[in-house]
Amino acid sequence: MVTDSRPLRAGGLCLKMSGKRCHLTTPLEQRGHAWTMAATVVCMRTFEPDWFFELLEKHQITHFGGAPIILSMLVNAAKEKQKKFATPIQVMTAGAPPPAAVLQSMSAFGFEVMHVYGLTESYGHILQVAPQLSWRDESQESQAELKSRPGVRFAMTEAVDVLDVDSGQPVPHDGQAMGEIVIRGNTLMKG
């Protein structure tokens, strides 16, 4: 397989990647490898929430990525094993948006979650959530809903839109209209 480091570098530019970085790699991590640039990497062969919280603390983890099911497992871990962190830990999740209750719990742990969207054919993430300062005034539920709707292009993505299948015209950007996603960028597969 021939790969290119451009998406890795561009992905890192979109994340809070300053200072000391220690990345915890979880099973089911979805293309979180972009965070490992110039970072200490701690790997988990299997996922166990109790062990996960211990590793976060022991290795002073600053970043991790995990599928929404991983986040749900952390929320449902035994309360006496859960830990809260004073220094925010950057978290990337992809796939179906995590439920609002899961995102709220992540915040209580001290995790700052970024939801992203990507495809195998686009060599990883193409869209991300870019939290706005005005969101701080919203309720926790509203913030969680806003954080589950990625729509800001990553640096290596030239264009993204959703088109009506019949007309080929863009659908309204209202979170309700359905269509087919179209992407332009230098990390897409041919075909």
N-terminal to C-terminal alpha carbon distance within the chain: 17
Q: For residue range 27-80, list pLDDT tens digits in order.
A: 655 444 544 566 788 888 889 999 999 999 999 999 888 888 999 999 999 999
120 band by pLDDT with thresholds 50, 70 and 90: confident
The predicted structure's pLDDT at residue 83: 95
Show me where the domains of the chain are located. 6-156
Report the distance separating Cα 96 and Cα 70, nearest Å.
12
Q: How many CA atoms are closer than 13 Å to the CA of 182, on its beta-carbon side?
A: 10
Q: How confident is the model at residue 8 (pLDDT cuts 50, 70, 90)?
A: very low
Structurally, at CATH architecture level, domain 6-156 sits in 3-Layer(aba) Sandwich (3.40)
pLDDT of res. 2? 39
Q: What pLDDT score was predicted for residue 17?
A: 56
Q: How far apart are CA 150 and CA 175, in angstroms?
A: 10
